[in-house]
């Protein structure tokens, strides 16, 4: 399953694995879309094998959702995304991944 997660993560500049009922996941999606990012979003609670995917994310090092991949690399969860944003590192990272063009 880790191989499948890596394949999905590499298909778009930004990929988010989240749960549709999770407020933090929604906030992270909103933050990224407000920057102009069009992420691929996989709602684990709406996928037939969502639990297996969540376990694969855990084995890859992400202990909670949302799990955000930028440029095919696991960045982490909400804490990592907010920290990158506050340190003004998130937008440059998104630009390098061709997720935004401004």
Hey, is 10 helix, strand or coil?
helix
Does 102 score more than 80 pLDDT? no
Hey, is 43 helix, strand or coil?
strand
Hey, is 67 helix, strand or coil?
strand
Q: What pLDDT score was predicted for residue 63? A: 86
What average pLDDT does the chain have?
95
The CATH number of the structural domain formed by 1-97 is 3.40.30.10
Helices (H), the chain: 2-11, 23-34, 50-60, 78-86, 90-96
Domain boundaries along the sequence of the chain: 1-97
pLDDT tens string 8-49: 999 999 999 999 999 999 999 999 999 999 999 999 999 999
Name the pTM for this structure. Answer: 0.95
């Amino acid at each position: 399953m880790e191989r499948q997660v890596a394949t999905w993560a590499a298909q778009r500049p930004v990929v988010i694995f989240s749960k549709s009922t999770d407020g933090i996941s929604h906030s992270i999606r909103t933050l990224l879309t407000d920057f102009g990012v069009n992420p691929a979003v996989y709602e684990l609670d709406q996928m037939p094998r969502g639990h297996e995917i969540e376990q694969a994310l855990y084995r890859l090092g992400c202990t909670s959702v949302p799990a955000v991949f930028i440029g095919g690399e696991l960045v982490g969860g909400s804490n990592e995304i907010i920290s990158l944003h506050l340190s003004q590192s998130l937008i440059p990272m998104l630009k390098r991944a061709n997720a935004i063009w401004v």
